[in-house]
Structure 1
Amino acid sequence: MTALTHTTAAATTDVPTTGRRRAVNRAMWTAQILLGAFLLFASALPKFFGEANAIETFELIGWGDWFRYVTGVVEAAGAIGLVVPRLAGAAATALIGLMAGAALTQILVIEPAWAAMPVAMGVIFGLIAWARRGETRALVRSLTGR
């Protein structure tokens, strides 16, 4: 195979890969925006504003209002981080931990059947964290000076 043929073959095989990467990137950003909006508007804000279901849930958990506010802050920070390119991978990684805690709380305290939602969201956050691992590495390097 000559150098010209090899270069042409490589260029031809890169086109579908680039198109695939672009499609995956768009799908990830769509998921990040939708999940961020859900976390902020449907989950964090009701906790901040003392919506009746949020209050009842945290009373059932037994940790008081302070834990409702802390959870709301973590959700809001994660929602914002998901839509900031440099923070998206780190936010998704942190949100995996939040979803693990939510699933365990559902299983152990509230209603085991409802654990499916935070588990599913945790899996999606895992996919986002994996897709954004390069940005996360760059963020860690910039923070540690390495």
Structure 2
Amino acid sequence: MSDATTTVAATTTASRGPGDAPAAPGRRVRITVRALQILLALFFAVPSAGPKLVGHSSAAESFDRIGFGDWFMYLVGGLELAGAIALLIPVLSGVAALALGALMAGAFFTQLTVFDGGNAATPLTLLVPLVAVAWSRRHHNAELVALVRRRSSR
């Protein structure tokens, strides 16, 4: 880095106060996170929610073993599909990643307790990119709250 670049970066960082929003991520970071959101949305919509929503026998057997039956299978499938769609909507992407992360934490716990850890790595593997998306899209949460407040005050 040149001295001019270092000076500008130091001045920009120093001029921000403790309550100021962090600088916007660079173009490469935004593109990478967006690609990650699309990949996660595709995964949650097709191979994850799909079998649950069509009542595939493998999904039904798993949820019967959990002890909640078909209603819970359809609920989880619906939540996964809604989360997949919300990941693609910018103002909802941070909240969607958090919600899907919570769903994966529940799936991890279920894998450990009901299925003796058989596929416990899968929810953990998905949890890592979901946390990354939630963190990088956290500024959208303030936008969402402001939007909801505006709509509710009408």
Same topology, TM > 0.5: yes
After superposition, give the CA deviation of every residue in 1:56-90 in whole Å (9 maximum; x if it has no partner): 11111110100000000100000000111111001
C-alpha separation in 1, matches of 2:99 and 2:46: 19
The answer for the alignment partner of 1:96 in structure 2 is 101
The answer for the alignment partner of 1:10 in structure 2 is 8
Instruction: Give the drift of 1:142.
Output: 1.8
Pick from 31, 54, 62 the counterpart of residue 57 of structure 1.
62
C-alpha separation in 1, matches of 2:77 and 2:88: 17
What SS is found at the alignment partner of 1:110? coil
C-alpha separation in 1, matches of 2:6 and 2:120: 51
Q: How does 1:22-101 map to 2 (within 5 A)?
A: 22-101=27-106
C-alpha separation in 2, matches of 1:7 and 1:39: 42
1:114 aligns with 2:112: no
Unmatched 5+ stretches in structure 1: none
Instruction: Give the drift of 1:52.
Output: 1.6
User: Would you identify which runs of 4 or more consecutive aligned residues in structure 1 move more than 3 Å?
Assistant: 5-9
- Flag the 1:91–1:113 CA change in 2: closer, same or farther, 3 A: same
Unmatched 5+ stretches in structure 2: 13-22
TM-score by length of 2: 0.80
Q: How many residues align?
A: 137
C-alpha separation in 1, matches of 2:58 and 2:6: 61
After superposition, give the CA deviation of every residue in 1:4-48 in whole Å (9 maximum; x if it has no partner): x9699428x99xxx9x72111111111110110010000111111
C-alpha separation in 1, matches of 2:55 and 2:84: 19
- Tell me the C-alpha RMSD between the 2 structures: 2.5
- 57-66 or 112-121: which moved more? 112-121
